[in-house]
Structure 1
Amino acid sequence: MPTGDAQEARRAEFERARRARTEEVQTSPRRVYELIRSMIRRGTASPDTALGEAELVRHLGASRNAVRRALQMLADDGVVVRQRRAGTSVLHDIVAVHDGEVGPRAYEGAADEGRLRVSTLECRRISTPPVVQQGLGTDVVSVLLLEQVGFVGGAPLYLRVGYNVTDLTAEEFTTRIEENHVRYPPIAEVFESLFDVPYGGSSSVVEAVSCEERAAGLLGVPEGSPVLLRELTTRQTDGTPRELSFTHFRGDRVALLGGDHGPQRAVGSGGFADVDLPLQ
């Protein structure tokens, strides 16, 4: 029979092996939620894709309980739909909006080409509010206020208000905007067509806020729903601000992406290539 020391050594070895097996399995629903949502955003799991629990357990290295709870979290977000006997499937994609872009990249060759439609709700000249002057310059006495709703695949995606420094009339500015809405070119081209100067860049701040009543109605979400509010300042090449905008993005439909790092292959709405997982 093994001595007491030998038995203790075997128990210690068994415990180390048990802990190692446990550490290999992802048991946090939050972490599994992050991984699945990333798959959807990257286009690996596209709309109507079936998300089988067994496949997710295997490919994510997760426990079944963690996968089930993560899928319910995504269902609560409205990203997936869960049905008895039918299982879980992706309800809609998560649309990528890149640094400096007004909306998703909808120009020729981009991931969301042909999916974007923008409706202009209002365009009129107003006296520049002092808080807007802080962003655009104290010498800017009037701006064109522009309000738009962007739709992707027929569903509202964002509500945007912009304060534009231009001498154009509201009618002239609206005409130029509508010309850009025919094919939705890149932001640099849009900027130059609107302001007659080259695009110099932009800076932004993003916050998570609760959606107020009117915005909620336009975005098709319940009042108080979480949305992403982005304040964006767009400038010409000499650094002069030409627009200060505030955009409410649907929190369940949009991912705001930072700058590209090296060449990427655009796929799906996320704009990045990824390894496909067999989730049928």
Structure 2
Amino acid sequence: MPAERTREHTAPVAAARRRRLRADQARQLADLLRRQVLTGVFSGGVLPHEDAIGTDYRMSRNTVRQALDLLRAEQLIERQPGVGTVVVCEKYSHGLNRLQGLAETLYEQGQVTNEVRTVCPVPAPAPVAGRLRIPQHTDVLYIERLRRLNGLPLSLDLTYVPMDIGSRLLGCDLENTDVFRLLESLSGQPLGTAEITLEAVNADAHSAAVLQAPRGAAVLMLERLTHLSDGRPVDLEFIRFRGDRISMSGLLHRAR
């Protein structure tokens, strides 16, 4: 009797463990396939058959199906009758190796256009004044732009610039020129360094509407404080990227 009870209790535990292991393997496989999906490895944008994927990665068919379900939930692939599983979403690679404007970073991937939604002087809120090292409530130039790549909304950029340079930005072509290029031209010196923070945040109603993203969808928030070569902070930006259209990449060196 005790042995029978032990088997009764251990059987559900073993089954749950198998399900958990399969879910873990599906997640691992999805990570490997995602990279190939985003880098265009699959010929013609069509993934191999489930059996072929299972053979290549030594995974069961159920595990492969779970992995593909995860990628479908991310809207990266979809099943098309008579064709198979196809790639339906392209993400653009945004390099983090160099300090560049968006048009400079993505010039090989298409045309970046800017819709200037707001440009005006505003009193600097305390956090902005502190980061730009100017007195609180001193005017700064506030710029809000919707950035599109190949006509599709990609990012919503909120920018603060000290007014001694910002006043001259007012007469510049902000629709067709990266702010970085204008800052270097107006200041007479190159940009030097930038401090960045990258995190995922939920899109607020305004951002979601502008980016044509679902309300509450996760967006990539890049906060960047850029300095001139002399160390002066000159540009504070809060950039919300559509996470389904951008991926961040970089080359890191281990300090010795």
Query: Relative to structure 2, which stretch is displaced further, 168-177 or 129-138?
Result: 168-177
Give the CA RMSD over aligned residues: 2.8
Alpha carbons 1:116, 1:153 under 8 Å: kept:
yes
> What's the secondary structure of 1:145's corresponding residue?
strand
Alpha carbons of structure 1 residues 83 and 232: separation in structure 2 relative to 1, 3 Å: same
Aligned AA (1:135): R
Aligned AA (1:226): A
User: Partners in 2 of 1:115 and 1:44 — Cα distance?
Assistant: 24
Are 1:207 and 2:203 matched, yes or no?
no
Higher helix share: 2
Identify unmatched segments of 5+ residues in structure 2: 1-21
Alpha carbons 1:173, 1:194 under 8 Å: kept:
no
Aligned AA (2:207): A
Match of 2:144 among 143, 147, 169: 147
Are 1:228 and 2:227 matched, yes or no?
no
Alpha carbons of structure 1 residues 58 and 73: separation in structure 2 relative to 1, 3 Å: same
1:94 aligns to what?
A: 91
Identity of aligned residues (%): 28
Deviation at 1:55, TM superposition (A): 3.9
Greater relative contact order: 1 or 2 (C-alpha under 8 angstroms, separation 6 or more)? Answer: 1
1:161 aligns to what?
A: 158
Alpha carbons of structure 1 residues 28 and 197: separation in structure 2 relative to 1, 3 Å: same
Alpha carbons of structure 1 residues 88 and 136: separation in structure 2 relative to 1, 3 Å: same
Alpha carbons 1:26, 1:60 under 8 Å: kept:
no
Deviation at 1:27, TM superposition (A): 6.7
Deviation at 1:67, TM superposition (A): 2.4
Aligned length: 227
Query: Relative to structure 2, which stretch is displaced further, 203-212 or 68-77?
Result: 68-77
Alpha carbons of structure 1 residues 63 and 189: separation in structure 2 relative to 1, 3 Å: farther
Deviation at 1:123, TM superposition (A): 1.0
Alpha carbons of structure 1 residues 59 and 144: separation in structure 2 relative to 1, 3 Å: farther
User: Partners in 1 of 2:203 and 2:100 — Cα distance?
Assistant: 22
2:41 aligns to what?
A: 44
What pairs up with 1:47-196 in 2 under 5 angstroms?
A: 49-52=45-48, 53-99=50-96, 100-103=99-102, 105-107=105-107, 111-112=108-109, 114-139=110-135, 141-168=138-165, 172-173=169-170, 175-180=172-177, 189=181, 191-193=183-185, 195-196=187-188
Q: TM-score by structure 2 length?
A: 0.77
Alpha carbons 1:157, 1:250 under 8 Å: kept:
yes
User: Partners in 2 of 1:215 and 1:41 — Cα distance?
Assistant: 25
> What's the secondary structure of 2:102's corresponding residue?
coil
1:155-192 C-alpha deviation (Å, 9 max, x unpaired) = 211111011124256674462433526xxxxx864541
> What's the secondary structure of 1:177's corresponding residue?
coil
User: Partners in 2 of 1:126 and 1:149 — Cα distance?
Assistant: 19
Deviation at 1:227, TM superposition (A): 0.9
Deviation at 1:149, TM superposition (A): 1.3
Identify unmatched segments of 5+ residues in structure 1: 1-24, 182-186, 262-280
User: Partners in 1 of 2:174 and 2:187 — Cα distance?
Assistant: 11
Match of 1:257 among 243, 249, 256: 249
2:30 aligns to what?
A: 33
User: Partners in 2 of 1:116 and 1:97 — Cα distance?
Assistant: 13
> What's the secondary structure of 2:174's corresponding residue?
helix
User: Partners in 2 of 1:98 and 1:191 — Cα distance?
Assistant: 21
1:52-94 C-alpha deviation (Å, 9 max, x unpaired) = 2344334444433222222221221122222344321111211
